Structure 1
Amino acid sequence: MAKSDNLFNIRGKVGDLIFFQRNGQTFVKKNTGGFVNGKSHEHPRTKAAQQRFKEVAIFVGRFKKALNPMIWRQKDGTFHNQLMSFFSKIRKESTQENFYLTLIDAHEKGKLQHKKLNKNSKLNPFDCTYSLHENTLFIENNLSHFCAQKHPTACLEICFGWMYYNKELELELVYPQYFYYSLVENQNPRQKITCELINDNEKVTEFALPIISITVVNQPNSSAVALHPYHFTLTTIV
């Protein structure tokens, strides 16, 4: 970029030069094309990036819709964007050829588990573990103790389900199971919450993610009301 006297007050493109003004002075630079004037939008890398974004957007839209039975009490307007950010990062870091293989690879490497899918939650996803061998969900006493400090008479609504998906990124939440835990009745500081799960043996598919959602509610039933729209809810893959 060079400064120009520009006696004729020229602006815009002249041949392979571009004249423009900044702070009352005129500058000139060589026209290198760029996204609009060039053909970078037709570049294979650009098209690949657009395809990756499309895959993530399709997955997130379907994922959020399938997850709704577990998270319908959550009222966080930024949740969709949080999911896009999380899964876009997973896709960007992957060398797999499509998003289906990306998810399998990321799960096997532990990149999906114990992450806050709703980042505004104050609950710790590392307090939640799932034993495939025992088919049992465990919630550490740290989580219940933290919730009891803020809401001592409340309950925890704990929901577990399998998110099945196939190569076409079609998703289904299978057999969500609900458990209720009274914070006022269970004040043992060493006691874990143990949820023994039921298998859904009739469901056959290619791959699935074990997902839990925890919400602090006012009573131990499906008519309960969440005590905070997002701080005291947690959605995570275990």
Structure 2
Amino acid sequence: MPISVVIADDQEMVRTGFRMILESQPDIDVLDDVVDGAAALEAVERLHPDVLLLDIRMPGLDGLEVTRRLAERAAAHPEYGERPRIVIVTTFDLDEYIHAALRGGACGFLLKDASPAMLVEGVRAAAVGDSLVSPAITLRLLRELTPATGRGGCARQPSEPLTEREEDVVRALASGRTNAEIAAELLVSLSTITSHLANVQTKLAARNRVEIAAWAWETGLATGGP
């Protein structure tokens, strides 16, 4: 079945552009596009999309509040599962909002000027529980998570230590590389990288690769620390 998507953005040109890009793909179906957070929540309840493409700054309920409310709904009603998966679309001047959205459970972060291919891949990744983050956002935002007063002070502790190879994979992930790029760099198969990341995700109780990258910056692992 096609991946079902709802687009929420208060700019008509953005909604129209995103809809045209996504509807050109045979495996993606845009169910609706809406202008604000309240309409986004209503569309989610009515249409049950797989993915919600969500702007942060909108009139009324902003994207952060929508993300928070959907996370609360998922916690209170497990029958909903993790749907919809949220992909945030933002600009460079909203760094602090992205941090909050990441911790709230968003699984993808794209710039509004991202290429059509990246937008499509971001939706596809979210639909299967993975995530795609614009490399520029990864490096700009996650670096800022490194504590200013020492490493690892309040970061979560893994249930068991990461192996040396798992640490190599996490460092590469935190620098913005894709799984394919990590596999090429470490001279291993793509399935091996996928397996390593699944193990790391379990050890950290992380919801997605974005949280793994954030953990790497918080602990200093991304910059060569312990």
TM-score in terms of structure 2 length: 0.23
- The structure whose Rg is larger is 1
Greater share of helix residues, 1 or 2? 2
State the structure with bigger RCO (CA 8 A, min sep 6), 1 or 2. 1
